[in-house]
Amino acid sequence: MSLKIDLETNFAEFVIDAGEVILGTQQRTDMNPPLLRVKPNENILQAVCALLNSGGGVIKAKIKDEDYNHEIHEVGLDLPPVFEGYLDEMQQGKLFLIFVTSWNTDVSGVPLATLCSNLYHRYRSSNNVMDSHKALIFLKEKTDSSLLSPQEAQAGAHREDDTEDSAAALFDREQLQYLEKLNLTESMHVEFQMFPTALSQCVKERLARCVSALANAEGGYVFLGVHDETHQVIGCEKEKINLSKFKNSVECCIRKLPVYHFCTQRHTTQCSIRFLQVHDKGDLRGYVCAVKVERFCCVVFAKVPNSWQLKANKVKPLTTKQWVDWMMQAKPVRRRLSEMFLEPSLSPSMPPSRTVCTQNLERLKVLQKHYFPVSSHRVAYAPESLYQELCSEHKGLRDLIDREMRPVSRGILIFSRSWAVDLGLKENQGVICEALLISQNNTPILYTVFRKWDERFKDDSMKVASSLKQRLVDTGGYTGRVCIVPLFFQLNPVGTPVTPHSSVAQIYPESYNLTTIQHMETLLRSLVRVLFGFRSFVSEKLGSETWNLLTDQQYELLSKNLHETRQLFVHGLPGSGKTTMALKVMQKIRNVFHCEPHEILYICEKQPLKKFVSNKKICKAVTRKYFMKHDFAEIQHIIVDEAQNFCTKDGDWYKKAKTITQRRKDCPGVLWIFLDHSQTNQLSCSGLPVLSDQLPREELTGTVLHEEEIAP
Ligand code: ZN
């Protein structure tokens, strides 16, 4: 059965339907056949693991046992101990819900949740599976040693016992005697196993574990057909075995073991197999199979690591490569975006400078207190000006908000004309406003106020809420329990407001409530990261992700109501982030006006910049020269960048741009012009209107941290 995300749900986040489950330790033992006790709820384990690695969510399962009661009975899921502290459980009649929060690397010490590493190490004479911590240490040691030459690595390996020489001698012997007691014990380098007549699944698995353990350590020998306690030679009777077939299947089993290389040599797992004759009173009785396992250059697994993630709405296993990469954080995983703000040295290839990170952290606090202050004695409305604007535009809104906020004692209600657009989603034209309530002793709530309710809107609003939750975790780096509960309202223009669908709101465990002001502020700082964070251009150059925070001016520029600010001149000095803003505005245009990349035009003077923007695939990008020579029938919106470099040599570009954007009388397009006024050549004709006519106008004065300052 493949686990899928349940799309028909009222939780605004990932919900995995795990089907039917048998809960309770006793109940599972009583089952007939009692296999279920040995085999835990594999489905649920995988779902929990996938959610931990994908930002959290909910698992729903139907309880099979009629009499199961969560108040009395244990859950008995046999989860790995490291998963403790991430789960909350709730029974709703016959439905069992497991709430899973996102994996916390700082607390757990490892970057991802794993059910079993399937990576073995040799401890004395036993093969032990490494837990995630041990596996991480082992992987790190291997990366260091992979830089050494094989000879150096061999020399560095310490040999503690002399069994290896005796084992080598045994491996080379031609003949053994039946029931001969070997002068050799199991050790770091030697393993005895009874000889199976056929390589059953169980024997193969045992061999795989043994080979993984030996190859990851210093190599060694496995003797099949020697009693592991008495050390007596037993062997396999010659009539019962086909030597070449058996050899093939052992080789095949070893060849198939998943490996991962840090080195460039990329050897395969090296083994040699010999059959030693076992004689009884002078006659050939059978064989002992001896396997010599060489020390492996890098990492050998007994099986693919058992770890899961959500992908394309399904619970999917990680491949060995994905697992190691994620463990080593060699690839930019989503979770790292947020850590960039906190931890200065994560990427081995490009450590972001400490100053950037601490500046960001300090600025986060400042921005949060400035834009989203939490009041200790009331509910603050932010931004206050937007709230007043909305109330004057929509009769009845103030009453609705007042009524809803009456029972709330402290917190903050954050208004937006569209949280969807703020999060990079398409605007719903039926929405008057959306407001996010962060309040004490409650979960965050996202209120959506509609002009007129339509059943189809529910999906949109759920999407906004779930996207916000996901972004708070991924981009915002919030590691606590978090959910967003969506509530919908229709604003009735004449009478009292109605609440069409508040009943759909789902109930979360109490641990999801925000308890203190500090708790609320932590969440709000994650929200600042979501709203102010952007990917720096340095990423394009170095292939690594660096996040930065918008300045206040940039944030306010991007918060402008595009319906009302169709035309704008934006003046900014070099380094004030004009091109970044131009890109972000175009993204916003797409979501607000629901248009396609071929309907938005970006014009600049120089080829390299044109190419850079063109690669973003969010608009059509051209140079001014090209713009003057062609028609643009499909274009509705135009963004002009670096206009100080423009000229009228090929014609009046400003007039042409204006004409294009204003040709739709019912809904004129956006025309924003970005320029560095200080660099405008006053003598040559740039084609821009005179300064006093460049209205409305905004200035970007602050400089963002420049690429060069971030790069090492
Ligand atoms: Zn290697």
Check: CATH 3.40.50.300 for 558-700?
Answer: yes
Digit-coded pLDDT (tens) for 45-59: 999 999 999 999 999
Q: How far apart are CA 359 and CA 338, in angstroms?
A: 14
Residue tagged 């400490």 (tokens): 354
Kindly report whether the peptide bond that precedes residue 383 is cis, defined as omega within 30 degrees of 0: yes
Digit-coded pLDDT (tens) for 404-448: 999 999 999 999 999 999 999 999 999 999 999 999 999 999 999
The one-letter amino acid code at 280 reads D
CA–centroid distance, 192 to ligand 1, in Å, is 27
Whole-angstrom Cα Rg for the chain: 33
CA–centroid distance, 224 to ligand 1, in Å, is 28
Could you tell me the two tokens for 568? Answer: 């704008």
CA–centroid distance, 256 to ligand 1, in Å, is 16
The CA–CA distances, whole Å, from 561 to 48, 170, 518, 527 equal 41, 82, 32, 20
- Name which of 226, 270, 262 is nearest 125 in CA terms: 226
Residue 294 pLDDT level (bands cut at 50, 70, 90): very high
Fold match between 120-300 and 558-700?
A: no
Q: How far apart are CA 111 and CA 119, in angstroms?
A: 16
The one-letter amino acid code at 7 reads L
- The question of whether 186 is a catalytic residue gets the answer yes
What is the pLDDT averaged over residues 195-221? 87
Residue tagged 């741009």 (tokens): 657
CA–centroid distance, 188 to ligand 1, in Å, is 22
CA–centroid distance, 140 to ligand 1, in Å, is 13
Q: How far apart are CA 24 and CA 288, in angstroms?
A: 46
Q: Which of 186, 339, 404, 434 is catalytic?
A: 186
Buried b (16+ CB within 10 A) or exposed e, 101-123: bbbebeebebbbbbbbbbbbbbe
Digit-coded pLDDT (tens) for 263-287: 888 888 889 999 999 999 999 999 9
CA–centroid distance, 402 to ligand 1, in Å, is 66
Q: Which of 322-331, 398-407, 605-614 has the lowest average pLDDT?
A: 322-331
What is the pLDDT averaged over residues 479-489? 92
CA–centroid distance, 212 to ligand 1, in Å, is 14
Per-domain boundaries in the chain: 4-107, 120-300, 363-534, 558-700
Return the pLDDT at 352.
Answer: 31
What is the pLDDT averaged over residues 157-173? 78
Digit-coded pLDDT (tens) for 69-96: 888 888 877 788 888 899 999 998 889 9
The pTM is what? 0.85
Residue 678 pLDDT level (bands cut at 50, 70, 90): confident
Could you tell me the two tokens for 289? Answer: 């199979």
What is the number of alpha carbons within 13 Å of residue 615 lying toward its C-beta? 7
Q: Which of 13, 191, 427, 521 is catalytic?
A: 191
What is the DSSP-derived secondary structure letter of residue 509?
Answer: -
CA–centroid distance, 273 to ligand 1, in Å, is 22
Share of the chain above pLDDT 70, in %: 84
Dihedral of CA atoms 166, 167, 173, 177 in degrees, nearest 10, equals 90
The CA–CA distances, whole Å, from 55 to 15, 320, 469, 508, 512 equal 12, 21, 9, 16, 15
- The yes-or-no verdict on residue 148 having pLDDT over 70 is no
The pLDDT mean for the chain works out to: 85
Could you tell me the two tokens for 308? Answer: 């899961």
Q: What CATH number is given for 120-300 in this structure?
A: 3.30.950
The torsion angles phi and psi of 225, rounded to 5 degrees, stand at: 115, 15
Return the pLDDT at 353.
Answer: 31
Helices (H), 336-456: 336-342, 354-371, 384-393, 397-405, 419-422
Which residues have C-beta under 5 Å from ligand 1, the single-atom ion? 261, 263, 297-298
